[in-house]
């Protein structure tokens, strides 16, 4: 191993910079040249490579986003165009590739390995926390804390005005962030893609526990089958005409900000480990973190399988929900 390349792909998540820093520093410690690729797979297609040094990653561990950038690449999806783009990896004598991202990013990494034969390693980084083979992905903890802080502030207004707020969080295909944030913020209900939403039942439950005399919070994953927060209010309103219903979409604030201490440690551990296992001869695996220890999962499993939220937390919310305003 003389030259290890790496890129960040998919949606940015807090802690990606900490992971980049760990990869660069461990490579240099092992006398390997770290080569960053700008703007994800798009950077491969255009040969946008960056031979990095210690100075390039100085003072970035606390920064959100990714200094390498991330972008979609339609050209990379085209087999013929991809074949031409991958010649840049060969011309730059890249011995291995580390991809920091989600399952879609891992699918791209797997295609590269199959087509030009270089070993690839995946580091799971997504605020959705839906990657199989790891308890937590880089960025999830920070996003969770961002949501909880926002909901705490929204609750102040909900209580003051006796309003029911439907707070929409990210999670197009996964309700993991929504469910965890609902428990952590004390929300009365949560709507996730993994569970079918019954609008009439939802309205009855809200009226039963609210009676127009208290504020309430309903967390909504953006991928819920009934739609986003505004869609759901439109469907619920005919059943709750006497209630003040409001929607808040948290949007991209969930992706940004300084990574939490947990995400910094997780990203640093995974990034350094990715370099170590390449040197040890492992390839085409994802670095996972299970029960406090590093684990490895075949990259194909990380692509095809998905982590599901603990639906037992739905029962927990039911137990904690106030039945009426007198209790």
Any idea which residues carry the catalytic annotation?
A: 128
> Contact, 275 vs 32, CB < 8 A?
yes
Cβ contacts of 86 within 8 Å, gap of 6 or more: 44, 112, 115, 116
**Minimal CA–CA distance to 13: which of 104, 102, 114, 120?**
102
**324 vs 151: CA distance, rounded Å:** 22
Show Cβ contacts of residue 216 under 8 Å, excluding neighbours closer than 6 positions.
Answer: 158, 163, 164, 165, 188, 189, 206, 209, 210
Cα gap 134→200, rounded to integer Å? 37
Under 8 Å CB-to-CB from 136, ≥6 apart: which residues? Answer: 129, 262, 266, 289
Rounded-to-integer distance, Cα 297 and Cα 318, Å: 35
DSSP string, 161-213: HT-EEEEEES-SS--HHHHHHHHHHT-SEEE-TTS---HHHHHHHHHHHHTTS
Neighbouring CB atoms inside 10 A of 4's CB total 26
**CB of 34 closer than 8 Å to CB of 279:** no
Q: What are residue 35's phi and psi, to 5 degrees?
A: -125, 110
Region of 166 (left: φ > 0; alpha: ψ -120 to 50; beta: rest) is: beta
- Residues linked to residue 21 through DSSP beta bridges, in sequence order: none
């Amino acid at each position: 191993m003389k030259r290890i390349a790496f890129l960040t792909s998919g949606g940015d998540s807090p802690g990606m910079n900490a992971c980049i820093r760990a990869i660069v520093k461990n490579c240099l410690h092992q006398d390997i040249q770290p080569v960053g690729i700008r703007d994800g797979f798009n950077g491969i297609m255009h040969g946008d490579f960056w031979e990095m040094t210690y100075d390039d990653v100085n003072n970035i561990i606390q920064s959100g986003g990714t200094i390498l950038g991330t972008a979609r690449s339609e050209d990379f999806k085209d087999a013929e165009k991809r074949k031409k783009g991958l010649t840049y990896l060969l011309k730059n004598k890249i011995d291995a590739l580390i991809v920091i991202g989600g399952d879609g990013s891992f699918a791209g990494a797997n295609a590269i390995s199959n087509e030009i034969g270089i070993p690839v390693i995946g580091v799971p980084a997504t605020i959705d926390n839906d990657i199989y083979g790891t308890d937590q992905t880089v960025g999830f903890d920070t996003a969770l804390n961002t949501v909880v802080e926002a909901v705490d502030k929204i609750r102040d207004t909900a209580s003051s005005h006796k309003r029911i707020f439907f707070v929409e969080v990210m999670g197009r295909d996964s309700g993991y962030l929504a469910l965890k944030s609902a428990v952590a913020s004390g929300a009365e209900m949560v709507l996730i893609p993994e569970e079918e939403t019954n609008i009439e039942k939802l309205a009855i439950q809200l009226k039963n526990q609210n009676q127009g005399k208290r504020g309430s919070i309903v967390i909504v994953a953006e991928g819920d089958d009934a739609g986003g927060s505004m869609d759901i209010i439109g469907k619920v309103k005919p059943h709750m005409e006497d209630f003040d219903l409001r929607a808040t979409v948290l949007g991209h604030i969930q992706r940004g900000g300084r990574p939490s201490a947990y995400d910094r440690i997780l990203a640093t551990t995974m990034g350094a480990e990715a370099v170590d296992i390449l040197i040890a001869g492992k390839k085409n695996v994802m670095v996972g973190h299970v029960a406090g220890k590093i684990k490895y999962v075949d990259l194909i499993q990380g692509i095809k399988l998905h982590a599901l939220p603990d639906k037992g937390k739905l029962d927990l919310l039911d137990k904690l929900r106030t039945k009426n305003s007198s209790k």
